[in-house]
A and B are shown apart, each in its own frame.
Chain A
Amino acid sequence: MPGRRSLFVLGMLAFGFAFLYVPILAMIAYSFNASRLVTVWDSANSPTLGWYVELLHNSQVLDAARLSLRIASVNATGAVILGTLAAFALERYRRFRGRALFGLLTTAPMVLPEVITGLSLLLLFVALEQTIGWPSGRGATTITIAHMTFSMAYAIVVIQARLATVDRSLEDAAMDLGARPWKVFLVITLPLIAPAIASAWVLAFILSWDDIVITSFVSGPGSTTLPQLVFSKVRLGVSPDINALASILVLIVTVVVVAAGTYMARRDRRRLREAQAAVAAS
């Protein structure tokens, strides 16, 4: 039926979006609720920004957010560096002993149950502390290392996929023109895979930002990440400031995603226009 969309298709679209986003919208709406009881809408005093104000004065939440931010950034940076090296080895050296095993082992943490990863890392950290005295106790360091182990696996997949599309003759050409292998990597390969490195960084950041299972195993006293805080708060009965906190997070994510999407769409359109102009002018 050209020109007319079927009701069924539109209905499915509406249902799909509702399924994904109605809960989040409800949560945002309730973050403006004045009532202390999460499930009761206080229509007399709502909407109010009270919970947001309270949140800003809650040092516990702010500390947890700061810690999560720090762990997520350090983790993402480390995961991207290790991931790039591993992806380069897998993609550019097609024939080396144990290549298949290496590929399997680097990406296995993606499918490994988090409980197993968490428990095994806890055992490792305890054993290490007993034998070499490092890391002393569990805290931000151990959480960061633990997060790196699994987010690196995702980084490898993202970066390797991009690396596979980079024309190898570009690297050959640079070498032919006198650049040594390390220089070729820095000035040719790295700029070309930069978009993938950026997305891998964001992905690793988000994986770390909302991880709770592995974090629970390897965190110690005084190092409570934001997800841990939220989780413990919810266990004691949901308080409405959680809604405000979550709404802020949703807002941040939305802004970042929309901005990145708009930027990339614009850039692609511009490139297409310029390419067409070049062909038309010749």
Chain B
Amino acid sequence: MTAAPAPRATPAAPPGQPYVRIEGLTKRFGDFVAVRQVSLEIARGEIFCLLGGSGCGKTTLLRMLAGFEAPTGGAVFIDGVDVTAVPPYERPVNMMFQAYALFPHMTVEQNVAFGLRQDGTARAEIATRVHEMLALVQLEGYDKRKPHQLSGGQRQRVALARALVKRPKLLLLDEPLGALDKKLRERTQFELVNLQDRLGVTFIIVTHDQEEAMTLATRIGVMRAGEILQVGTPTDIYEFPNSRFVADFIGSVNLTDGKLVEDEPDHVRIDCPQLGTTVFVDHGVSAPPDAQVSVAVRPEKIQLTRERPPQVDNVLSGTVTGIAYLGDVTRYLVRLPTGFELRITAPNVFRREERPAHDEAVWLHWHPSATVVVTR
């Protein structure tokens, strides 16, 4: 993970009255279950990211919140009101579409004004609010352009202005930055968060890009096969994944199978044949004795040294089989005597530094608290 620093001052979700409540939401298309029994509570002013691979049901879930798909079962409450059966044109919700869905036959101004015009807002007020909104997304002077006369970044901002001009209670964003190139995406992430902070609108974002989710979200919901596997802050999800899938999906990880051999309330030992040793974990694990578990260690948590480290637990030796110098970090691939390969990420702190070379014998060790044990 090379995520940019989180731009917001308050990273955690404010606890309190849930603003959006989703209860047992299910969507079936014939025999295929796209969304299965999803329940979620989202607080006012949150940026909630639904993160998952393609076909995991995240977009279907979002479309049900917008009202485009009728759920097979379950209910959606927004600000305490059941909106499950409310058609999209009457919901206090707006959506920013994946490819922006700007109306190609209308100017920027007409696009942004469209929503207000449907409500029969007075002409003068429409003009003021449209120009306020265009100023907010820094698109003054572009109001007479058509969408095809705009660059990708400008289109994204028009779409955002159009979705925000009606002052929705909830804004749904479907891959909001997916169509932008990398540099622009990083800049836009910060703009999006700033804007959300100023307007206080609750955001629900769908994305497949974990870096985007980590940067934007106050909380993330990881989805797979129509179900939410884990909900938590970016730190929770990254440092304390609750399953093999989440550990593997977010960031890079070394995963191996193991068996509980010593189970105490304050520590456990896990026998990992692939590592050729037992792993020491400095906290208890809620699993039956002799249970099959998975052990996950993040590459940046493993220290790579030439000399044998002084500690006794979680020490391994191996030979370097791969090196990728990325500037800020170097990634190593180290083969253990068992043949298992571990990924290690080491920061490049010094400009001149003798780094381990190919085929060099090295030592690896990590702190007992760095080990994540998951039972499923």
Contacts and interface: CB of A to CB of B under 8 A. Distances in A.
B66 interface: yes
Interface string A156-199: 00000000000101101111111110010000100110000000
Given A278-B154, A281-B151, A282-B153, A178 B97 contact: no
A281 B103 CA distance: 22
A183 B67 CA distance: 17
Contacts of B152: 282
Contacts of A177: 89, 94, 114-115, 118, 162, 166
Interface residues of A, number: 24
Given A177-B118, A183-B118, A170 B149 contact: no
Contacts of A183: 118
A279 interface: yes
Given A274-B149, A278-B150, A180 B101 contact: no
Interface size class of B (residues with CB under 8 A): 20 to 34
A163 to B, nearest CB: 15
Given A167-B101, A192-B104, A278-B154, A178 B149 contact: no
Contact of B103 (A178, A188, A277, A282): A188
Contact of B89 (A178, A277, A279): A178
A99 B107 CA distance: 37
Contacts, number: 75
A278 B68 CA distance: 33
B119 interface: yes
A172 B97 contact: yes
The secondary structure that dominates the A interface is helix
Contacts of A279: 151
A274 B151 CA distance: 10
Contact of A179 (B89, B95, B162): B89
B330 to A, nearest CB: 35
Given A183-B118, A278-B148, A278-B154, A174 B103 contact: yes
A49 interface: no
Contacts of B376: none
B98 interface: yes
A145 to B, nearest CB: 34
> A167, A170, A191, A278: which has the most chain B beta carbons within 10 Å?
A278
A176 B88 contact: yes
A172 B68 contact: yes
B187 interface: no
A179 B162 CA distance: 14
10 contacts: A170-B101, A172-B88, A176-B67, A177-B114, A177-B118, A177-B162, A179-B114, A274-B146, A275-B148, A277-B149
